[in-house]
A and B are shown apart, each in its own frame.
Chain A
């Protein structure tokens, strides 16, 4: 038995690889660290909602109209849910897994986006890029240009103002229905 074992061991030779002195190969589909493309991002917060460990966060500054997207790689579990739910492909998992660092700040990536102000009352209510994205989707869907104009005007208002305008619009009809 000893001879058989010895033969096995000798046949194997060296079983270890000299990493970190040589790069390690990872298979395709390997889940490394998420790579972010702020140009594509519309700050819709889908990734933030889907992220299980809350590595992705979104903060709104309603005074200056700024939305800050932030990822903290220390919490990331490399699950790729953010990649799955992103509507524009702005975040994708790459192949990088060597994230060790002496400073916590190395693990934080931030991006700032403008918030859109309501055309009626001026309050900030949504991400500007998200709003433009939705409007361009309506155009792509092939709606008539009058339709788009009407919807555009509504979408550029905050939900409070939309409600007020809609109420004002139906008020005469409601009064009429009561009187009849």
Chain B
């Protein structure tokens, strides 16, 4: 079951005194695909870490499914910018890891992992080690691992930033397909306006530091989305309005930095 996410008047100050987020409030409906867009250093990743319960908020409340966010409590998955695979384990064992932590028997966890790998088109590479795979394949493994627990919330922190454009677009489509099957609440951090519009139902534009919400733009395009959508005028229109919202945020960040 997908979960709602609610951030109410969040402040986040790190131990070194840096104020990363200020008075951030947002509510995300269960099963929504939301992108988080903004300049570097505006606290996008911090938002994800707060929702995951990996960091506490300094003020305000983070609620997942109506309960305070806490790592290890709700079924949540996280995809990092790097594939973050265990280099010493086979691809199959990497994908099975979340189930093994949940104390599922090895045999059964591996069967499920094989299914998850098949879903990302890597059934034949199950016995390979991460170092033997390309960047795009490693990221597919990482996504398969994230989805194997059928999470209520899927957090993705610029997962495709390091990939070439073609691989990136293909993985965008694969991600949407997988999301469509399980429909978790998805929160996708990205630098790319096109990626944000192509994937999501809603784009949150952040400014900062300290991070705050600049714009909250719905993307009223249905699913499933095909690659040809990128060429349609509606899509371009959405990209334009998101870019326009991003401009003052970028300018603000530039002024802060100089």
Does A pair with B?
A: no
